[in-house]
Amino acid sequence: MGAFCASLAGLSARAADVRDSLVIADGALRIDRTLVLGAARHGQRAIAVGERGAVFVSDNSGTDWTGYRSATTRTLTSVASLDDKVWLGAGHGGVLLRSEDGGKSVQPVETDAGKDSFLGLTVLSPTSVLAYGAFGLMLRSDDAGRTWVRQQVIEEGFDRHIARVVVAKDLLLLVGESGTLAQSIDGGASWTRLASPYEGSYFGATATPGGALLIFGMRGSLYRSADQGVSWKKISLPTKLPFFGAVTRHDNSIVLTGGMGWLAISDDDGQSFRLKRAASRSVAGAFERADGALVLYGEQGIRIVAANMLKD
């Protein structure tokens, strides 16, 4: 599991090896020295999570952050908001956390996930959420994250790591290890395997503003479907670096975040991409502020990239 998580985040095994330098003299966590694997924004509130149970909260869209250690020392990989108060976090060792005060405090949630790691959270509605990850693990909550039920994915015995589930127009799209590609047309109750154009691992996916689907992962692999996953077209990128996350900006441009700080940016609904380097180390994902700036998170913690820096 550790090797896959390192590849998924494009980061080193230090996700499980935290150094004392992550904590400064006054005991406050340093977001610029912490591996951050998940972050999200809801209005002015933003929350980021990372190694050794670190949680960071911002009240100004990610400009300033206050950090604390949560109730776990496990690495947290994902965070999602259901509204301005209720937030969920998930991570290694089957850890699920829930907050009812906008992330200022979190409480562990009991599940039957065992020690398998969560790699992602997908919000389906204000009360329904999927949590998924290693060895085919998927749990569902329909009461805003208070209780969770395990569900089968694709077929009995499915054991591939699930990297991402994204909400598209008429379906849910699932991507993962070893070319795993599946869809659900009933809100995640059941899953059907799709023919994959690639045998390597996918790390992310997104639906474009125009309704197309993008899937991406190892070695710069990127594919686009204009027919809801029936067929896929390879989008060429001049790099073999992996890509992990995607964000669609208010101007409908699409930004993929990747290895060694590289971004892939599309201004034509994902039909072509240009590369731009925004950091010196790997970027797991990003969210957009109201002013158009991107808040990148990854191996360098948080880094803000102004809107004008994303242009040609």
Number of neighbours of residue 208 by Cβ within 10 angstroms = 21
Mean pLDDT across the chain:
91
Going 10 to 13 to 16 to 21, the CA torsion angle's sign is negative
Question: pLDDT of 242-268, one tens digit each?
Answer: 999 999 999 999 999 999 999 999 999
Mean pLDDT of 22-47: 80
pLDDT (0 to 100) of residue 312: 77
* Annotated domain spans of the chain: 2-243, 244-312
pLDDT (0 to 100) of residue 20: 27
Is the pLDDT score of 6 beyond 70?
A: no
Of the chain, the percentage scoring pLDDT greater than 90 comes to 89
- Nearest Cα neighbor of 246 from 280, 223, 228 is 223
pLDDT (0 to 100) of residue 153: 97
Mean pLDDT of 2-9: 42
pLDDT (0 to 100) of residue 26: 38
Q: Which CATH number fits domain 244-312: 2.40.10, 2.40.160, 3.30.2010, 3.40.50?
A: 2.40.10
Mean pLDDT of 73-89: 97
Q: What is the distance between the alpha carbons of residues 129 and 123, in angstroms, rounded to a whole number?
A: 5
Question: pLDDT of 214-247, one tens digit each?
Answer: 999 999 999 999 999 999 999 999 999 999 999 9
Q: What is the distance between the alpha carbons of residues 130 and 138, in angstroms, rounded to a whole number?
A: 7
pLDDT (0 to 100) of residue 9: 43
pLDDT (0 to 100) of residue 36: 98
CB 79 within 8 A of CB 38: yes
Q: What is the distance between the alpha carbons of residues 84 and 45, in angstroms, rounded to a whole number?
A: 7
Q: What is the architecture of the domain spanning 2-243? A: 7 Propeller (2.130)
CB 94 within 8 A of CB 138: no
**Half-sphere exposure (CA, 13 Å, Cβ side) for 28?**
9
Q: What is the distance between the alpha carbons of residues 74 and 54, in angstroms, rounded to a whole number?
A: 9
Q: What is the distance between the alpha carbons of residues 177 and 161, in angstroms, rounded to a whole number?
A: 5
Question: pLDDT of 42-64, one tens digit each?
Answer: 999 999 999 999 999 999 999 99
pLDDT (0 to 100) of residue 22: 31
Q: What is the distance between the alpha carbons of residues 18 and 266, in angstroms, rounded to a whole number?
A: 35
pLDDT (0 to 100) of residue 7: 46
CB 96 within 8 A of CB 111: yes
List the structure tokens of 190. Answer: 């059941």
pLDDT (0 to 100) of residue 238: 95
Question: pLDDT of 271-285, one tens digit each?
Answer: 999 999 999 999 999
Residue located via tokens 């990128």 = 237
Question: pLDDT of 129-161, one tens digit each?
Answer: 999 999 999 999 999 999 999 999 999 999 999
Higher-pLDDT residue of 291 and 25 is 291
Is the pLDDT score of 11 beyond 80?
A: no
pLDDT (0 to 100) of residue 309: 92
Range from 1-5, 114-118, 187-191, 293-297 carrying the lowest mean pLDDT: 1-5
List the structure tokens of 67. Answer: 């950090």
Q: With cut-offs at 50, 70 and 90, classify the pLDDT of residue 205.
A: very high
